């Protein structure tokens, strides 16, 4: 396609973009035509530093040759096979390798095609687990304020972002929420806030209203991601685990963002030393190159399904493209690249540089909070009176013009670069944010 043809594309209304002001986009389209390493190429040929890893997914950087080649090879050999009552060898290899990376005792993987499907699958497994054990009363699903769990009705129901729910009528009835474990004391914490573990006790307080014997699962992102990058206070996840275990409630970590080395360990579960019963993941699983998600399932949960007659379907659930051959090829190559580049260790090594660069923005105009953990970060701006989100949008635009792609969400700049980012590129990103803040001031 010529660039002239691409230029005319935004005037076409055929493509309805997700989470986008459609008509504004048509006036000011942002189009990329290529990506390599840390950079996108814009339609007009500029190089832009990607401080978002695509959308929290290209952890090993763009265009990793090994991943590209694996997809090409798979596409030429086995385009598709269903995994309903059949499958292909790479699906088993990938499941084993993911299980080997997961915390001990989580040896099973159910494949999906997205984070949303992974979350809905995890919620369904949680409810079906209790059913399988003859405990049909346990149906209540507990989410958390500011949680993002994808756009399926299940994930939306446990999500804690009101705006996302506004337009879609009744959601799952049997849900409730914990508060965000964060308050003003924690502002500008370096890494995990030292205070706030007590917020986990909000689960205990729920027991006043809901008999704990009716709760199926608690689902949290170990680090709140789309809601604004809130690392868990020290001890918070441990306390949540303790309460869930004590009351027979399953603990689900939504690791769609935090999985695959983002916080300096294969999963946040290991980074924070807490093992959940189920983990949803996606994004970094295939480095974003082919859509794929999955649920990593703890052995106790899995074993509860594998009882009784062997010729019945234990879990009546699945997707046409579960364990798609191209996705499995991309997933295996992604794990190779993670190993080769030692990405989890790399995050640990560079995280102090990241932390220092972000916190140095504390004295920049409008900055009211900075948060970081692993290679995740957020900079909160004071909203411009009467124009919520306008400042962060202006920073996003100014940074893009200066050659850096940062994500704005409300009045927060959310940062999540490929894990191969260099110290110099961290500096470039922070400099462009500071300059933008000074400019809009």
Among 61, 143, 150, 331, which residue interacts with ligand PMP (rule: CB under 6 A)?
Answer: 150
Q: Rule CB under 6 A: which of 99-128 touch ligand PMP?
A: 114-116, 119
Report the distance separating Cα 274 and Cα 268, nearest Å: 8
The distance of closest approach from Cβ of residue 54 to ligand PMP in the complex, given in angstroms and rounded to an integer, is 11
Please say which residue, 83 or 416, places its beta carbon nearer to ligand PMP: 416
DSSP per position, 161-174: -HHHHTTS----SS
The distance of closest approach from Cβ of residue 155 to ligand PMP in the complex, given in angstroms and rounded to an integer, is 6
User: By C-alpha distance, which of 276, 277, 294 is closest to 285?
Assistant: 294
Q: Rule CB under 6 A: which of 277-316 touch ligand PMP?
A: 282
Please say which residue, 57 or 132, places its beta carbon nearer to ligand PMP: 57
Q: Determine if 226 is a binding residue for ligand PMP (CB under 6 A).
A: yes
Name the residue with tokens 């594309």: 9
Please say which residue, 139 or 286, places its beta carbon nearer to ligand PMP: 286
Among 148, 267, 302, 321, which residue interacts with ligand PMP (rule: CB under 6 A)?
Answer: 148
DSSP per position, 335-378: HHHHHHHTHHHHHHHHHHHHHHHHHGGGGSTTEEEEEEETTEEE
SS3 50: strand
Q: Please say whether the dihedral angle defined by the alpha carbons of residues 61, 63, 69 and 75, taken in this order, is positive or negative.
A: positive
The distance of closest approach from Cβ of residue 112 to ligand PMP in the complex, given in angstroms and rounded to an integer, is 9
SS3 117: helix
**8 A C-beta contact, residue 159 and residue 226:** no
Q: Determine if 269 is a binding residue for ligand PMP (CB under 6 A).
A: no
Query: Which range in 39-47, 85-93, 144-152, 332-340 contacts ligand PMP by CB under 6 A?
Result: 144-152
**8 A C-beta contact, residue 215 and residue 249:** yes
Q: Please say whether the dihedral angle defined by the alpha carbons of residues 318, 149, 236 and 360, taken in this order, is positive or negative.
A: positive
User: By C-alpha distance, which of 263, 211, 269, 260 is closest to 240?
Assistant: 269
Please say which residue, 256 or 361, places its beta carbon nearer to ligand PMP: 256
The distance of closest approach from Cβ of residue 257 to ligand PMP in the complex, given in angstroms and rounded to an integer, is 5
The distance of closest approach from Cβ of residue 386 to ligand PMP in the complex, given in angstroms and rounded to an integer, is 29
The tokens of 169 are what?
């009528």
Report the distance separating Cα 296 and Cα 319, nearest Å: 16
Please say which residue, 322 or 432, places its beta carbon nearer to ligand PMP: 322
The distance of closest approach from Cβ of residue 70 to ligand PMP in the complex, given in angstroms and rounded to an integer, is 21
The tokens of 355 are what?
């932390």
Report the distance separating Cα 199 and Cα 180, nearest Å: 8
Query: Which range in 146-154, 299-307, 334-342, 403-411 contacts ligand PMP by CB under 6 A?
Result: 146-154
Contact characters 204-223, ligand PMP, x per CB under 6 A: -----------------x--
Binding residues for ligand PMP, rule CB under 6 A, total 14
The distance of closest approach from Cβ of residue 295 to ligand PMP in the complex, given in angstroms and rounded to an integer, is 12
The continuous run of DSSP H or E covering 24 comes out as helix 22-27
Please say which residue, 113 or 432, places its beta carbon nearer to ligand PMP: 113
Which residues have a Cβ under 8 Å from the Cβ of 320 and sit 6 or more positions away? 82
Name the residue with tokens 């030429």: 76
What's the half-sphere exposure (Cβ side, CA atoms, 13 Å) at 26?
Answer: 9
Please say which residue, 257 or 289, places its beta carbon nearer to ligand PMP: 257
The distance of closest approach from Cβ of residue 57 to ligand PMP in the complex, given in angstroms and rounded to an integer, is 8
Q: Determine if 53 is a binding residue for ligand PMP (CB under 6 A).
A: no
The distance of closest approach from Cβ of residue 123 to ligand PMP in the complex, given in angstroms and rounded to an integer, is 12
Exposed, middle or buried: residue 12 (CB in 10 Å: 0-12, 13-18, 19+)?
A: exposed
The continuous run of DSSP H or E covering 31 comes out as none
Please say which residue, 119 or 433, places its beta carbon nearer to ligand PMP: 119
| Number of residue whose CB is nearest ligand PMP | 115
The distance of closest approach from Cβ of residue 256 to ligand PMP in the complex, given in angstroms and rounded to an integer, is 3
Please say which residue, 265 or 282, places its beta carbon nearer to ligand PMP: 282
Under the rule (CB under 6 A), what is the footprint of ligand PMP?
114-116, 119, 148-150, 221, 225-226, 254, 256-257, 282
């Amino acid at each position: 396609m010529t660039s002239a043809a691409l230029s005319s594309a935004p005037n076409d209304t055929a493509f309805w973009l997700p989470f986008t002001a459609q008509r504004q986009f048509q006036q000011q389209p942002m189009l990329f035509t290529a990506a390599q390493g840390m950079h996108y190429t814009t339609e007009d040929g500029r190089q832009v530093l990607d401080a978002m890893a695509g959308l929290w997914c290209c952890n090993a950087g763009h265009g990793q040759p090994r991943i590209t080649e694996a997809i090409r090879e798979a596409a030429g050999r086995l385009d598709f096979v269903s995994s309903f009552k059949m499958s292909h060898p790479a699906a088993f290899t990938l499941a084993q390798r993911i299980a080997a990376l997961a915390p001990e005792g989580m040896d099973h993987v159910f494949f999906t095609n997205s984070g949303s499907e992974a979350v809905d699958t995890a919620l369904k497994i949680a409810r079906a687990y209790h059913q399988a054990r003859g405990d049909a009363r346990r149906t209540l699903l507990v989410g958390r304020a500011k949680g993002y769990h994808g756009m399926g009705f299940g994930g939306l129901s446990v999500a804690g972002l009101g705006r996302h729910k506004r337009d879609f009528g009744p959601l799952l009835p049997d849900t409730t929420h914990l508060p965000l474990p964060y308050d003003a004391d924690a502002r500008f914490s370096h890494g995990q806030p030292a205070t706030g573990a007590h917020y986990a006790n909000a689960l205990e307080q729920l027991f006043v209203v809901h008999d704990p014997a009716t709760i199926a699962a608690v689902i949290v992102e170990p680090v709140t991601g789309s809601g604004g990058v809130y690392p868990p206070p020290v001890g918070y996840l441990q306390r949540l685990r303790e309460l869930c275990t004590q009351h027979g409630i399953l603990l689900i970590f939504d690791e769609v963002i935090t999985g695959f080395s983002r916080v300096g360990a294969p999963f946040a579960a290991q980074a924070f030393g807490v093992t959940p019963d189920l983990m949803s993941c996606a994004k970094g699983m295939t480095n974003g190159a082919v859509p794929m998600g999955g649920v990593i399932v703890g052995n106790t949960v899995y074993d509860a399904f594998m009882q009784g007659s062997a010729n019945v379907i234990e879990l009546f659930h699945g997707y046409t493209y579960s364990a798609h051959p191209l996705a499995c090829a991309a997933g295996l190559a992604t794990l190779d690249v993670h190993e080769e580049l030692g990405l989890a260790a790399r995050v640990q090594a560079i995280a102090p540089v990241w932390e220092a660069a972000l916190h140095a923005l504390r004295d920049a105009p409008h900055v009211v909070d900075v948060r970081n953990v692993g290679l995740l970060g957020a900079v909160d701006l004071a909203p411009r009176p009467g124009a919520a989100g306008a400042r962060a949008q202006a920073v996003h635009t100014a940074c893009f013009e200066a050659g850096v792609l940062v994500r704005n969400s409300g009045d927060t700049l959310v940062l999540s670069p490929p894990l191969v980012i260099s110290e110099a590129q961290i500096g470039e990103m922070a400099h462009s944010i500071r300059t933008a803040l000074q400019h809009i001031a």
